[in-house]
Amino acid sequence: RKEVEQDPGPFNVPEGATVAFNCTYSNSASQSFFWYRQDCRKEPKLLMSVYSSGNEDGRFTAQLNRASQYISLLIRDSKLSDSATYLCVVKWAGNNRKLIWGLGTSLAVNP
Amino acid sequence: NAGVTQTPKFRILKIGQSMTLQCAQDMNHNYMYWYRQDPGMGLKLIYYSVGAGITDKGEVPNGYNVSRSTTEDFPLRLELAAPSQTSVYFCASSSREANYGYTFGSGTRLTVV
């Protein structure tokens, strides 16, 4: 089983749609969780951290399910500018250097 | 608000040549990292540093070297470039205060021919 696993997609959705991505992780000792966004040929950028209680930032909602070892990202009212690859990232407890990166889920929002 | 600055943005090397990829950050972050990203692949950690004078190997260190003489700078050295080192290289930094979320540079696209 991969350490961090994501559906590569692509997800093709119309503008205004709601879309959700899941990411599963294998290490139950994982401590911190993040979603990054990467545009084509650009660097990854931190979208949001994922907290145990779940968190929301505008149209984006992230949730963590420790029992089932997955995190999710929900995007509401999709915009064309949301088209990108979304990377799931997990940090193992006690090791600041060990970020495990998923391969990403590709999203294309269509007019 | 420079963040993480990488130079050069593009480079073509011939097999066997050497070069240094520069990375500088102005956020006083202790932790710095070098990654490579091949097409359709995830980020692979090459080297990292937890502070000035301290470096350690990541997943794919062969063919590379680093140094960290200051908090700000973390250059990556390629010795005897090989076609397998054709990739996009990203430098990143992080801190405890940022909950270890990374700030990336804009990348260096390297082609070895």
Residues B62-109 pLDDT 10s: 999 999 999 999 999 999 999 999 999 999 999 875 566 899 999 999
Comparing CB atoms, the residue among A41, A44, A97 nearest residue B48 is: A97
What residue of B is the nearest CA neighbor of A6?
B42
Kindly give the parts of chain A with pLDDT less than 50.
none
A91 part of contact set with chain B, CB < 8 Å: yes
Cite the beta strand spans of A1-104 per DSSP E.
4-6, 11-14, 19-25, 30-38, 44-50, 55-57, 60-65, 70-75, 84-92, 99-101
> Which residues from B are below 8 Å from A105, CB to CB?
none
Tell me the two tokens of residue A35: 């979603």
Closest partner residue to A96 (CB to CB) among B42, B100, B105 is B100
Amino acid B98: pLDDT: 56
Side-chain half-sphere of A56: how many Cα atoms within 13 Å?
3
pLDDT digits (tens, 9 = 90+) for B27-68: 999 999 999 999 878 899 999 998 999 999 998 999 999 999
